[in-house]
Amino acid sequence: MRPRSPPRGGVSALGAARRALTRAASNPVDRVNLLDHDLESLAAYCATLGEKRFRAVQLFRWIHQKGESDFGRMTDLAQSLRDKLAAAAEVRPLRVASEQAAADGTVKWLFDVGGGDAVEAVFIPEDDRGTLCVSSQAGCAVGCRFCATGHQGFSRNLSTGEIVGQLWFAEHHLRRRLGLAAGERAISNVVMMGMGEPLQNYAALLPALRTMLDDHGYGLSRRRVTVSTSGLTRMIERLRRDCPVALAVSLHAPDDALRDQLVPLNRKHDIAALMAACRQYLDAAPRDFITFEYCMLDGVNDSPEQARALVELVRGRAGPVAVPCKLNLIPFNPFPESGLKRSPRERVQAFAKVLQDAGIVTTVRKTRGDDIAAACGQLAGEVQDRTRAARRMTRAPIRIVAVHTP
């Protein structure tokens, strides 16, 4: 049995729930969206309605396990509670603006989140799993050179309900489409690898993760929920303390000089600090390794010398501490604004061989859904940019510094 997450702090959660109830009662339009609540928060909200915790558990199961949004159909709830919920709360789904299916079975949804913003989520079916790639922000402020989302700029963080709402819709929509029996899951894995940097939206991410993991919710294993980050070291430490799930780190370069250009956040969170944070994260992680993502860019980060430097880095011989890891090499998915090209297949294979010969578990990611722009780095949605990304990310040439390895 998995250990349950500790309570989030009943007093503050109860106070927040009371304030939300007061707003909803005074303004019928301002209803409480129950998708914003993990179980502890929902229990606090139900307490403001004069209901005991077991009612919150029943309600939580109706919403997440059964996909029900109509309180009237939640038949084992007391009629008095259903009436209270109907007056002040709702299960507010995201509006689906479009759905696209790729030739390989990948499905991409565009969700309208209001204000001119829309975010994308992607379902990737495989023989032994169904993976949902979830967005955490409308846009992204990190501005990685090879990422279409970053080139669109940043509008706002998503709420917990908007993050969970992607899973809520996809799980129950796919169950109906696939004709799954009661209790069968369509989605076995969730990766926070959609639009945005999840750890820059930590306040909304944490309750979303707890809802995904909760046995009364989606009951996903910590090993099957992955948070991908570009390397916010202090937030990696917070995640380790609060809700350690599988961790993937967007590395993309073996040295600071190159990573500063590809992942601008590296200028504040350099590779040495990042490696130390990753090594410490493993003390609490559900897996005994960190996944490093490495996007293969033609003539930029794909030389044999850079592969050898990467070996030295993760083994701790280049300065930072050693980090048990798996390397995931990602073929770049080109888009015009990037000014970059995909590494040739033979160069990717040669790069992988250097890592594998050094005893590092290395995979080359199979591109999925690229015919509908659903592959890694292609998610863009629609973003009302508040960061002047087009001006900020003017394509300056990438400077390649010679790498010297033994």
3-state helix, strand, coil in the chain (%, to 5): 40, 20, 40
As a whole number of angstroms, the distance between CA 205 and CA 219 comes to 17
* 255 neighbors 405 (Cβ within 8 angstroms): no
* 173 neighbors 233 (Cβ within 8 angstroms): no
Give burial (CB, 10 Å; 0-12/13-18/19+) of 85.
Answer: buried
As a whole number of angstroms, the distance between CA 198 and CA 158 comes to 10
Q: Amino acid identity of 32? A: V
> Helix, strand or coil for residue 350?
helix
As a whole number of angstroms, the distance between CA 136 and CA 293 comes to 18
At 340, give phi and psi (nearest 5°).
-120, 160
Catalytic residue among 40, 46, 51, 120: 120
Active site residue 278: no
As a whole number of angstroms, the distance between CA 121 and CA 191 comes to 10
At 212, give phi and psi (nearest 5°).
-65, -35
The conformation of residue 198, written as its DSSP 8-state character, comes to G
Active site residue 120: yes
Q: Which two tokens stand for residue 402?
A: 């010679």
Catalytic residue among 133, 147, 295, 376: 376
The conformation of residue 58, written as its DSSP 8-state character, comes to H
- Annotated catalytic residues are 120, 376
